[in-house]
A and B are shown apart, each in its own frame.
Chain A
């Protein structure tokens, strides 16, 4: 009974807030996802990263372990994904980002927060930053066919992480005015991202359901197994194990649709994968949380 209450308190915020976004999108009222995206990506999320990492006592070691483990998982997902896509005779470069880069921000972060508290959020952010930087550089590079190292330097998260790490390593506290500002600005990111997720889901259309389903299962299945395997191999326990498995099992990131549309490469099918994988994860969440909590 207690487990059910625990699980409900983790899942309900996601359902309710994404549901508000979905209803908003369906009601036909305008929702400028571009503006909300710009507000969260350029302002909210950098503040959330800085505020969470400096507020908490997450040791740089634990942070480093999570970074290593998650990078390993992304690499593993890439290898397995490339082999499977080739075996299915699909466009490997076009679909690889969709099966590798997951929704670690708007879906992964609230899950980590409510399942494992603030410490879970800090570890979840570690995975999120790696996935986001990978998606914006490698992901765009694969789909566009051009990989440039300069794209990494354009990502604002790199600099925020650098600043936060300086505080984490030295154990210094940022001045209170910075802490307060980043805390309130960061506080808008997760809810706004979840509402925007709901709005996007209401607008995306599923084409070719069977292929969407196969790719969605690939994303979640390989991710989940990779998370379980790596956390077992590295001896992760508690929050670290839970966060790694959760973040590895998230559905496809919505940004992949925007990338696919911009470079005109399977946008309709990517949209289908996003919708189906998100619905599957929503349905499987109670089970997934039961495994990790």
Chain B
């Protein structure tokens, strides 16, 4: 009973907020997802990184460990994904980004926060930042055919992450006015992203279900396996282990659909993968958390 109420406290806010977004579009209310994603990525996320890292005291070694494990996990996703897709004779440009970049931002961050508190959120932000860098470099390279470091250098997330690492290593604290400001602005990230997730799920046009289903299962199964493997290889324990496993097992990110739409890489199928893997994750998440939570206590 205690476990059920604990799981509900973690999972229900995610469901409800995404549900609000779904209802919002179904009611025909306007939702400017471009404005929201700008607010979230250009302002909210950098502030959330600064605010979170000025709140928690993390061991720089634990941080480095999680960063290494996250990086290795992304590499494994790329390698395994490429091998399976090639064996199935599917074009990498259309499907590989969906295998590589899970839904860390909107689903992973709140679950890590409610499940494992501020330290969980801080470590999840490490995983998330590496994923964002990967999306802007490797993801864009796969979809568009070339890497754009100029674009990467214009992402405020990079600078926020650098400052956060510097603060952590030097043992410095941000001044209170900056903590207050970034704390407020960082607060928009989770709710806006979840509402936006619900909105986009409601607008997806789905095609070719059997293949999308198989690839959705590949994303979740591979993610879970790689997550457990990386946690073991890097000797992670406690919150670090739980966060890396949890985030690795997230469904296909909605941003992959947006990329597919822009570059005309089978958006219908990617939409199917997003929808199916998210639906499966909604059911699988409580089960996975029930396994992970006891290891953190």
Which residues of A pack against B, CB within 8 Å?
Answer: 5, 8-13, 16-17, 20, 29-32, 34-36, 38-39, 43-44, 110, 114, 175-177, 179-181, 184-185, 187-188, 190-192, 194-195
Per-residue contact bits, chain B 207-221, to A (CB 8 Å; 1 contact, 0 not): 000000000000000
Q: Does B17 contact A (CB under 8 A)?
A: yes
B31 touches A35 (CB 8 A): yes
A13 touches B177 (CB 8 A): yes
Given contacts A12-B178, A187-B187, A188-B191, contact A32 B114 (CB under 8 A): no
B35 touches A30 (CB 8 A): yes
B30 touches A5 (CB 8 A): no
Option from B31, B38, B177, B191 in Cβ contact (under 8 Å) with A12: B177
A114 touches B180 (CB 8 A): yes
B184 touches A31 (CB 8 A): no
Looking at chain A's contact residues, the main secondary structure is helix
B191 touches A30 (CB 8 A): no
Besides A177-B8, A179-B9, A181-B13, 17 more A-B contacts (Cβ < 8 Å) are: A11-B177, A16-B181, A35-B30, A35-B31, A36-B35, A114-B180, A175-B5, A175-B9, A176-B6, A181-B16, A184-B17, A184-B187, A185-B20, A188-B191, A188-B192, A190-B184, A194-B184
Q: Does B3 contact A (CB under 8 A)?
A: no
Option from A38, A43, A191 in Cβ contact (under 8 Å) with B184: A191
Residues of the B chain whose Cβ atoms lie less than 8 Å from the Cβ of A10: 180
Minimum CB–CB distance from A124 to chain B (whole Å) comes to: 14
Which residues of B pack against A, CB within 8 Å?
Answer: 5-6, 8-10, 12-13, 16-17, 20, 29-32, 34-35, 38-39, 43, 110, 114, 175-181, 184-185, 187-188, 190-192, 194-195
A12 touches B181 (CB 8 A): yes
A180 touches B185 (CB 8 A): no
B187 touches A191 (CB 8 A): yes
Interface centre among A5, A16, A20 (most CB of B within 10 A): A16
Residues of the B chain whose Cβ atoms lie less than 8 Å from the Cβ of A188: 187-188, 191-192
Option from B32, B177, B181 in Cβ contact (under 8 Å) with A35: B32
Given contacts A17-B185, A32-B30, A187-B191, contact A177 B13 (CB under 8 A): yes
Interface centre among A30, A36, A187 (most CB of B within 10 A): A187
